[in-house]
Structure formats: C-alpha cells, structure tokens
Structure 1
Amino acid sequence: MHLSFCVKSSVAQHSSLKWSTQKAWDWYNKNPWYCGFNYIPAYAINYTAMWDKTTFDPTAIDKELALAQQSGMNVLRAVLQFAVYEDDPEYFLKTLDTFTKICDKHNIKFVPSLFDDCAFGIQHDPKVGKQPEPLPGWYAWAWSPSPGHSMVIDSTTHPRLEKYVKAVINHFKNDDRILFWDLYNEPTNGGLGTTTLPLLKKVIKWARDINPEQPLTIDVFDKNPRLNEIIFEHSDIITFHNYENKEALLKHIKELKKHNRPVICTEWMNRPWQSTIANSLEVFYNEGVGCMLWGLVNGKTQTDLPWGHRPGDPPAPIWQHDLYRSDFTPYDAKEIDILKKYIGLSKDQH
C-alpha cells in the first residue's frame, strides 16, 4: 500500500549529490511497502561471527531466510563488520555477494549498515576469529561494534575506514538487490557521545564520492540535536528507530513526515514496551511507512531478554525481540498471521 506524493523541496539542498525530494519520492513510490526484520543468524553471537571466515554459514542463513520468506517479509537489515573486511577484503566482498544472492533467492531486499557504535557487554573493539560463547542471562553480551570505539576516536585510522566504505559501496552501487545504504547504526551510542560525529561526517562524504544508485541514510534514534542536524541534512530518505507504544510511534512518524521525504522505520518491536506487531504494524501500514522489526530467529545474542538483563536477574515474563524460536516455531503464531495479513494487503494495493 502506497500513497503517491509529488512535492518539491522547500529546503535548500546542502549537497549537490543529495537526492532531491522529488527523486526520493520517485524511488519510494516505485517500490512496494517493505516489511521486514533486522537480521543476525541464530548461530552468531555478534556481527563479527555472522561474517567471519570461522563461522559464516550460508546453509544456516538460507534456511532462516526461507522462514522469513514464508512469513511474507521482503526486506532485511544487517550490520557489516569492518574488521572482517580488513582481515581479507576479497573474502569479505565475496561473502557479501553470497549473502546477497541468498537474500535475492528468497525475494528479500538487503539493507547493509556499514558501522555500528552499540555495545552491550565488556568488549568495545571487534576481533576476527572464533567469537565467545553466550553468557547465559546477559543480553547481547559479546556484541561487537564496527569499526570499534578505539578506531572511531583515533582519526589516524580513518583512511583505512575510507577504503572499506568505498570498496563496499562501489561493489554494489548499481545492484538493485540493495534497497538503500544505512551508513551508520546509532552513531554516538555505546558511550561514545559526540566523539563519533567527525567520523560520521567523513563516512557521509565517502559514500557520496561513490554516488550509488541507492539512497543513503542514517537513522534517527534519539533526540541529540547535533546528531540529528547532520542526519536530516544528509539523508536522502528518513529512517528511524522506535521501540515505543502505538501512540508514541504515530507521533514520531508525524514529526518525521514534516521533512517531506519517504520515512522507513529500521528498528522496532519491544514487547514489554508495547511496541508489538498487534499494536504497531497497522500504524506502519496505514502511514505508508516501511518497517523492520528486531529480529528473526532467537539465538546466541539472547535478544529475547530485555536490554540490560544480567545473569541472576529474574526471568523475563515475555520476549523483548525475535519472531521465532531456535526450532523455527513462532514465539506467537498470531504475530505471523498479522504480518502475513498486512503484507498481503500491501501486495493487493500495489
């Protein structure tokens, strides 16, 4: 289901390469309503493990994405890992090719996120190779930021990051299996604060230098005015995170639509906070806002637990994230029915 828009921007473009408002809407209106998920395989305790030579498992990924396809979902977002790229650039690009082919096999568009500042455990810098095993009761305890907090802060390492950004985007810049580029997941998160902003500005420039056919974006995830000024100035489309209830979600969407650009939610679903499929999916559908919940099959990240959960804490009464158990049975079959309903309606309308 799509509402067609034809509006001209009243805001001056700050970059000759930033998409015009009309171009952004032309792109959005030719696409279906995208409804999908943030993806990390059940076997991976972090995104390093997802991509690393020691653990990358295309067979497991194929089975999980077949499950997603059966649920009707048509887009996924996943964070890449600079450390795996730098360890072996040729391997990394071939692995991305393999992954993208699996996505395409299951009619799922791929949204890569190049960097991520989030950290939920004791490690703030990634290391390639075999990753730790889960610590029972600790939400995402071995999460690995990309490129890692040390490199974010140390500007002498940024030329290495430039090679990565340009190599990855250039490799897929004309590939319609890539829906859009999410340049940086939650910059300033994980305790970094404004120290991320210099790197973020560089990443935007490096991506613009390549000038891919797909739109570029950075997600709005908090109310940091310095960060959001950069995001709104440079994003071709508006993407955002929202784990709040139905009313707060609708209010957020209305605020973001004031920018007169397509709006897509790249992270949502927190059941204890009432960000649920039953409450929120109808909002996304009625507002013509694409959406990607977190996540698909519950696994080593233990994201069924609430944020901040630690060993010894009382068991959580309901799952925070994830649609399916490790045996591929739904956490709540009614959720899958609702997904299929709205995705089916969108196909009928498109």
Structure 2
Amino acid sequence: MQFIKINIILFITILFLQGCSEKKEVTNTSRAIWTKEKANEWYSKQGWLVGANFIPSTAINQLEMWQAETFDTLTINKELGWAASLGMNTVRVYLQDQLYEQDSIGLYKRINTFLNIADRHHIKPILVIFDSCWDPFPKLGKQREPIPFKHNSGWVQSPGQIALKDSTTHPRLEAYVKGVIAKFSTDKRILAWDIWNEPDNMTGPSYEKVEIANKVDLVIPLMKKAFIWARAVNPSQPLTSAIWVGDWSTHAKMKPIEKMQIEQSDIITFHNYDSPAEFEKRIKLLQRYGRPILCTEYMARPNGSTFAGFLPVAKKYNVGMFNWGFVNGKTQTIFPWDSWIKNYTTEPPLWFHDIFRKDGTPYKQDEVDLIRSLTSKTNLVNQH
C-alpha cells in the first residue's frame, strides 16, 4: 500500500512539473518589442501605405459594423472597391471588446470574411483593439439612429467606462486581446494591430459631463497590460498605439502615456489634423526613434489638413497615411467636431471628413485625382 501511495505521489509530481513546463513554454512564446532593424525590414516590404479609417456607410459604430445582424458584406465589398480604385492598399478598422464576449466564434468568422473581402481588393487592414473616443457606455444589440447633423453621434468606446472602472473585468479583456490577436497572429492579410486609439482622449464637449476625471489613470495600466497580452501570443504583425496631442520636441517632455505608447510600439504611429507645416514638423520630431512612421489619422478640410497639403509631404518622408472618413454615411463625419456645440441643419459648406457620397461619386474630383496620381506607381503592396 505504501508503495502504491509513493507511486501516486510521484505520478502527481511528474504531472505538476509537466504542467509547469507547458506553462513556461506558453509564456516563452511572448515576443519582444521589435528592434528598429526588424521594424524597418518589415516596412521595406510594404510599399507606400495609403488608406482610410474605414467603416461601411451603413454602420454608425463598431458594434453595428461587426454584429451578425448588421454585418453588411455587400456595402463593405463595394466601398473597399472604391478605396482600391484610388490606389489605396490599407484601411484602419475598429473592433470592440463586447463583440468578443457576445460571440467570439462569430466574430472570428466575420473578421475572416472582412479580411477575405479586403484581400480581394489588395488591401491590408490595421485592426484597432481599444478606443477611448466618444460614447463611454457601449451596449450590444440594435444601435441607436444617428442624431441629425452631428459628427460621430453613435461611436462607442472600448472598453466602456463601466469596464474601465472595474479591474475585475481585466480577465475578460485579456481574453479578448489574446483571443483575437492569437487567432490571426500569422495572418498575412493583416498589416498591424493598433492596441489603443487616443487612450487619453477625454471626449471634449461630446461626453465630458459623464466622463470620469481619473480616466487616464485607469487607462495607463490597462494599456500596458494590453501590449503585454498582445505580445504574449507572438503576433507576426507589428503592434502600435498612436500619439496625437502634446509636446513631442523631446522624449522627456512627453506625457507618461505618450512615452509608454512610443516605448511599447514596434512602429511609430501618430495623428495630425493641423497645417501641412505642423504635420511635417511632427514627422521630423518622430524620426529620432529610427522606426517606420504611419499617420493613422489626418484630413480635416477646414483645419487646413487636406490631401493636397499632406500626401506629398508624407510621400517625401515615406510616411504611411490613413485619412479619417471614407463614405458619407451613418457616422456623419462630413460635419465638424463642433457639431456637438453648434447646430447644423444642412450639409456644411465644406465637408470635414469623407471622400465619397453614398452613390460613389467623389465629394471633390480633384482630391480623387490627386490621390490616384500619387498612388499610381507606388501601390505595389499586397499584389498576388
């Protein structure tokens, strides 16, 4: 009997040690932040990246884009075809954490369908994991109708405020980050993963009355975890998070959250809706990091942020470009940010964002011609 007990104990010990070994092997799959050399080698294979932040015109937000009942492949295919007609070879697309909790298998299938459609048009998306902009209270199910004449009246944050304030939700968020990125970690149809969009955005006049004062303090540790979770599944694509406002003249002058974004990213991404001169200044400041640079948001016509002003500068410095807005639809981003404090009753005299009307006609033919002329000889990425 004693012999049997010893054998049982020995057997359990062996199983335990094997389990520890297996756990160690899983942990060891976590990859390091890319070296400058690796990042630049990756970028050298991409060609000049030009695209848009994309959501189909029939969706008001990320939930409506991706939920099974409103996943509109016909519109996605049509509108990505228009992007390809401009020579665009990439788009930036937002996910939302509640989608994973609702139906992870269904979400995987719809992401795969989207990637197949994009691939047919020779477009490689950046997928955005989290986002601090607009409505802090996302809800699954049927989404509300747009508020007339209001910019992004239904866009939602991820994670929402309730989840952000409750650290017990972190395992759920970890499952989302690891699950989605692991599922597509070697997928060549994906360009990159954007871990958190504008993490310190306090939503301005749109939702400032319901935002929490310590939002950034809650975001910083969660964003650090999100980068760690993402690297833990060893993605073959680069990770990033774009800085968007502040003093970038030296690394020391950057805010703690900006330093983290830069230090955790494989490639440098940033946003700029200012003048062409300021845009070029920002590029030169970011060159000190010696990594590929992508501008993942720009183009607000009344601000002076235009295709004509920005794209030639970007091409000169080989900076990838993603304008905000594509087709005038339910997000209503032809209206400016100040539509949250000013009343608009008709189409603005100058569109804020977007390139096409819903029927596919360009808002400004000269813009479309310019984009095509600049991409015609450089759109070599993703050719099969």
**Contiguous gaps of at least 5 residues in structure 1:** 1-14
- Equivalence for 1:271: 301
Are 1:140 and 2:152 an aligned pair?
yes
By percentage of residues, which structure has more helix?
A: 2
1:319 aligned partner, one-letter code: W
Tell me, in whole angstroms, the C-alpha distance in 1 between the residues paired with 2:150 and 2:237. Answer: 37
Equivalent positions of 1:1-350 (< 5 A) are 17-119=32-134, 123-189=135-201, 190=203, 191=211, 192-223=215-246, 225-310=255-340, 312-313=343-344, 316-347=348-379
CA distance in 2, matches of 1:102, 1:346: 22
Per-residue CA deviation, residues 281-324 of structure 1 (Å, 9 max, x unaligned), is: 10011111010001111101110000030473475320010000
Distance 1:342 1:307 in 2: 29
Deviation at 1:147, TM superposition (A): 1.9
| Identical-pair percentage | 44
Q: How does the TM-score come out when normalised to structure 1?
A: 0.92
Helix, strand or coil at the partner of 1:308: helix
Distance (whole Å) between structure 2 residues aligned to residue 251 and residue 314 of structure 1: 37
- CA–CA distance in 1 between the matches of 2:293 and 2:343? 40
Q: Which runs of 5+ in 2 are unaligned?
A: 1-29, 204-210, 247-253
Q: C-alpha separation between the residues in 2 aligned to 1:16 and 1:58?
A: 34
* Residue equivalent to 1:10: none
- State the 1:156 CA deviation: 0.8
Q: How far did 1:346 drift?
A: 2.2
The alpha-carbon deviation at position 348 of structure 1 amounts to 8.2
Post-superposition Cα deviations, 1:75-123, rounded to whole Å, max 9, x if no partner, equal: 000110111111011101111001111100100001000011101xxx4
Q: Secondary structure at the match of 1:187?
A: coil
8 Å Cα contact 1:41-1:61 kept in structure 2: yes
State the distance in 2 between where 1:195 and 1:210 align. Answer: 24
Deviation of 1:194 after TM superposition, in Å, equals 3.0
Q: What letter corresponds to residue 59 of structure 1 in structure 2?
A: L
After TM superposition, give the deviation of residue 221 of structure 1 in Å. 1.0
Offset at residue 72 of structure 1 (A) = 1.0
User: Number of paired residues?
Assistant: 333
User: How many Å separate the matches in 2 of 1:199 and 1:16?
Assistant: 19
Contact 1:277-1:339 within 8 A present in 2 as well: yes
- Deviation per CA, 1:152-200, whole angstroms, max 9, x where unpaired? 2211101000001001000111011111111111112135333211110
Q: Normalising by the residue count of structure 2, what TM-score does the alignment of the two structures yield?
A: 0.84
Residue aligned with 2:376, SS: helix
Whole-angstrom CA distance in 1 between matches of 2:368 and 2:276: 19
